[in-house]
């Protein structure tokens, strides 16, 4: 880390750390807030955890093989996704870090257990994968010790994606060492009920089971800046928002529904 860092500040400018389970979650969920912070002169780091290249084809689960076929990006889809993330972070004015942990579809094995279906990615973490939370916590410990951020932002785990649950658990395991305020962003497009389509009351359910005591806080943001960053993730857009990208308008509508002033808002849940 460059010199001049003291207690989450660089030459008097606050350093904010956004922890992202995957290579698009912060842009989708809190891209407007990131842009607001950058425009205010702060240094923002977006650290994505599950960014590791996939295992060789013979070691992949059937579910991972299905995802690769759907993505149609050859043997190195995460190389392209990391490039998309760097472009998105640059659009927001933030710095991108990739922590090289494996996505859920690449974890486990046929003998001990693997994620076998799309639905299993949005359920309780199975016992065979429980230890991944400890790996996440260790990665966060190293990152926080290096950056010493003035504030930390992580996922609420709305929608119950298992990787999002692991990151929230990792933050909980590190709660005594955080040494900075913690806020949880509403995971999109799950919070808006746009993906997967079956999600109902994703935010309320996540708040009820969250290990942290929370209070909500609304932030009016620039949705166009957020949209520009989301559009950098070309490999994910159609799946998340449809071939006509109409889901982006629905995401905007969700943000505007959070307050009565007609502006797009992002809601944070502050750990108290």
Q: Which pLDDT belongs to residue 4?
A: 34
Q: What angle do CA 78, 80, 81 make, to 5 degrees?
A: 60
Angle between the N-to-C axes of helices 234-241 and 77-92, in degrees from 0 to 180, rounded to the nearest 10: 90
The CATH superfamily label for domain 5-271 reads: LmbE-like (3.40.50.10320)
This prediction's pTM: 0.93
142-147 contacts, C-beta under 8 A, 24 or more apart: 143/17, 143/47, 143/97, 143/99, 144/17, 144/174, 144/177, 144/178, 144/179, 144/180, 146/1, 147/1, 147/5, 147/8, 147/15, 147/17, 147/45
- Tell me the domain boundaries of the chain: 5-271
3-state secondary structure of 218: strand
CB atoms under 10 Å from CB of 147, counted, come to 21
| Rounded Cα gap, residues 205 and 235, in angstroms | 29
Q: Which pLDDT belongs to residue 200?
A: 76
Q: Mind listing the pLDDT tens digit of every residue in the chain (272 residues)? A: 223 333 444 445 689 999 999 999 999 999 999 999 999 999 999 999 999 999 888 788 999 999 988 887 677 889 999 999 999 999 999 999 999 999 999 999 989 999 999 999 999 999 999 999 999 999 999 999 999 999 999 999 999 999 999 999 999 999 999 999 999 999 999 999 999 876 678 999 999 999 999 999 999 999 999 999 999 999 999 999 999 999 999 999 999 999 999 999 999 999 99
């Amino acid at each position: 880390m460059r010199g001049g860092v003291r207690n989450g500040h660089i030459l008097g400018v606050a350093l904010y750390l956004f922890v992202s389970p995957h290579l698009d979650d912060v842009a989708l969920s809190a891209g407007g807030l990131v842009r607001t912070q950058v425009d205010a002169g702060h240094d923002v780091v977006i650290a994505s955890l599950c960014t590791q290249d996939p295992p060789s084809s013979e070691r992949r689960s059937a579910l991972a093989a299905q995802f690769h076929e759907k993505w149609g990006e050859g043997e190195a889809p995460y190389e392209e996704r990391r490039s998309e993330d760097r472009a998105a972070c640059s659009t927001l004015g933030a710095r991108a870090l990739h922590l090289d942990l494996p996505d859920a579809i690449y974890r486990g094995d046929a003998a001990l257990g693997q994620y076998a279906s799309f639905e299993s990615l949005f359920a309780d973490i199975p016992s065979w994968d429980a230890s991944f939370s400890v790996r996440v916590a260790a990665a966060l410990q190293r990152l926080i010790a290096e950056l010493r951020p003035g504030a930390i932002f992580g996922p609420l785990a709305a929608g119950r994606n298992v990787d999002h649950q692991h990151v929230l658990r990792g933050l909980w395991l590190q709660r005594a060492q955080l040494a900075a305020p913690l806020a949880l962003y509403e995971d999109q497009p799950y919070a808006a009920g746009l993906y997967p389509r079956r999600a109902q009351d994703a935010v309320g359910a996540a708040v009820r089971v969250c290990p942290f005591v929370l209070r909500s806080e609304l932030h009016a943001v620039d949705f166009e800046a957020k949209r520009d960053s989301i559009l950098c993730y070309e490999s994910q857009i159609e799946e998340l928002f449809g071939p006509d990208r109409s889901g982006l308008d629905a995401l905007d509508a969700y943000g505007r529904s959070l307050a009565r002033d007609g502006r797009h808002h992002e809601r944070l849940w502050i750990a108290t």
